[in-house]
Every structure is written in structure tokens, then in C-alpha cells.
Amino acid sequence: MSLGKKLIAIVVFLTLFGAPSALRGQAVPTFVGIRTFLGAPYVTKLDDLHADFAVLGVPFDEGTWGQPGERYGPRDLRESSQEYNHDLTEGFYYIDGDRTVLKGKHWADVGDVEVWPTVPALTNDKVTAAVRAILARKAFPIVLGGDHSITFPILRAFDIPLTVIHIDAHLDTWTGAPGNLDHASHILRAAALPQVKNIIQIGMRGLANDPEAVGNARKIHTTVFTSEEIHRSGVASVVGKIPPSENIYITLDVDVLDPSVAPGTGTLEPGGLSFFELHDLLMALPAKGKLVGFDVVEVNPYRDPSGRTAQTAVRLMIDLLGAAFH
Ligand code: MN
Ligand code: MN
């Protein structure tokens, strides 16, 4: 091996394995290293996947009716996740409660799906295939969007009965154009999947939920809890009305959060959930059934130079997983 190759090998080795891991919370400066989610090992071939959690990016925003830029969501979430980059098998420590969650869990970042600009059906097929491969390897899929249309091809990959818990300011049940799949109609499409047995929608509000969307939601028999109901009655009251089910899949549109908390998204709507309202909701939902997968969608870094949207989303992701796997 030449000296140059040896140096490259040493640098690669130190980048992958040499980071100090004694500190929890953050073990390396956030500006160091290659951007995988939480600094997890990058697994480029799904056949080689051996992990509890597999993080998949879907950099796709051709389904949006709002501001584009969600294609950079996976990149932004990975960047913000560096704040919590450490030896992930040590878990995550919370000062409140003096507790550690997710200890001993192995994470992998399996990169982004192959995206074919202007050929969304092909991209969607790649999403379904990637999630199927993750499930076949017995890993838990965590998908980073992308606009909300990506949830449909994810759900398509499951072959077990699912209750979909859809957290969003919007119902996403517009009729849309025949045969289309976009971020405002994907729930209507998902309802037609045989594995989707039940849909619970939480956080809807504002003027974008028109009679057409509400009418369609009623037709497919979703259960809706609005943001206003949470503000007035509290999270616990709403959680108490959610029936238990066998398997739950959670899809989290960050626009459910108030724009003051999460300005980095394409379709802003006032009156959203606070951090703690959403935190408490996500902490409570895993008691309703076995969490089998989730996605975080609609992060748009171009509307949030502060990065707080992605940072908040990453924190909530860890909160949810900690509640689900203990
Ligand atoms: Mn949505
Ligand atoms: Mn939305």
C-alpha cells in the first residue's frame, strides 16, 4: 500500500471508528465528519443491513402544492442530528427523570433512495422497494422526507394490518387529479391499501382543510382530532380517545407544529402544536400498539435558516423511539 493510500485508510478509519465516544449527548463537534443520521454507520447495500433502526432519506418534493425545497429535508435532518452524534449503543440520556433510552440499539443510515426527477412513479417504486428491503432485514424503518406524498409508497411496503396515525395541520385527503399522488391527497390513496385498516388524523386546523377534504375524510372513515381540540382539552384527553390496535405506523408532518416552533415547512398554518404538546402526544402513542415504522416529512430548510425545524424534528424522533422501544 502506498503512503497516500495508507493515509487515506487512516483518515477513513478515524472518521468511522475513531471518534471519542465517552461523552453522551454529543461526542464530536458538529462540524466534523460525514453526515449520516446521528453519525450512524452508512450502509450502502441493504442486503448488508444488520441494525435495529434503519434511516432512509427520500429527497423528493415534486408532490408539493406549496413551497418546494423538501427535497433537502433529509440532508437538513441529518445535519441537525449531528447535535446528538455519539456512540448510539449508549442510548440517549435525559436530565429529566435521570433516564437513558435506546441503550444497546444499533442504528444504520442506509442513505437516500434513488430519485428520478419528473418520473415520480419510478421514485415511488424505489421507496417501496427500499422499505421492503429494510423490513425483510428485520429493521425498523425511519424515513426522512421529502414532501408528504412519500408516505404512500412507504405504507405500500407493509404486508401487516396497520393503523396509520397521521399527524399534520392538513387532512391530505383532497381528491386531486385522477391517478395522481401528491402531498395533499396521499391519505385518500393510502386508505385504499388493503393493509391500512384504520387512519387516525391529529392536529388539523386552519383554512386549508376545506369541505372537499373533510368530506373525503368522512368517506374513508378517518378519526380526526384537531389542533384546537388539543389546545382546549389537552393531549391526554385526545390520547384517551384513541383506540388500541395491533400495529401502528406514524407519519409526522412537521407543519403540525406551530410556525413559531417549525417555520421550515412549505405550508404554514397558525395555531399549531407546541413542542411539548407534540412531545407528549408522541410519548403516549406507542402505548396504543406496536410501532412498526414512521416518517418525518415536509422539512424545508430554505424556509428556516435557523435550523430549528429540523432540530426539533430530530429531538421528537428520538423521544418517540425512546417511548416505543424500552
Ligand atoms: Mn401533510
Ligand atoms: Mn401539512
Domain span(s) for CATH 3.40.800.10 in the chain: 33-324
Q: What is the pLDDT of residues 102-146, one digit of tens each?
A: 999 999 999 999 999 999 999 999 999 999 999 999 999 999 999
Rounded to the nearest angstrom, the distance between the alpha carbon of 169 and the centre of ligand 2 is 5
What is the per-residue pLDDT for 15?
A: 47
Output the CA 109–ligand 2 centroid distance in Å: 26
pLDDT of res. 5: 58
Task: Quote the pLDDT of residue 92.
Answer: 97
* CA 275 to chain CA centroid, nearest Å: 16
The pLDDT value recorded for residue 24 is: 61
CA of 253 to the centre of ligand 1 (A): 5
Residue 204: all three cell numbers together: 388539523
Helix (H, G, I), strand (E, B) or coil at 127: helix
Residue 16 has a pLDDT of: 47
> If you measure from the C-alpha of residue 25 to the centroid of ligand 1, how many angstroms do you get, rounded to a whole number?
31
> Separation of 290 CA from ligand 2 center, angstroms?
25
Domain 33-324, CATH: 3.40.800.10
Quote the ligand 1 centre to 168 CA distance (angstroms).
5
Instruction: Report the separation in Å between the CA atom of 103 and the middle of ligand 2, taken as the mean of its atom positions.
Output: 33
Q: What is the predicted pLDDT for the residue at 32?
A: 87
Q: Ligand 2 centroid vs 136 CA: distance in angstroms?
A: 30
CA distance 22 to 68: 40
Say if CB 248 and CB 165 are below 8 A apart.
yes
Distance 204 CA to ligand 1 centre (A): 10
What residues of the chain score a pLDDT lower than 50?
A: 7, 10-23
Task: Tell me which residue of 156, 126, 183, 196 sits closest to 297, measured CA to CA.
Answer: 183
Residues 189-235 pLDDT 10s: 999 999 999 999 999 999 999 999 999 999 999 999 999 999 999 99
User: For residue 51, how many other CB atoms are within 10 A of its CB?
Assistant: 21
Separation CA 9–CA 7 (nearest Å): 5
- Report d(CA 279, CA 277) in Å as an integer: 5
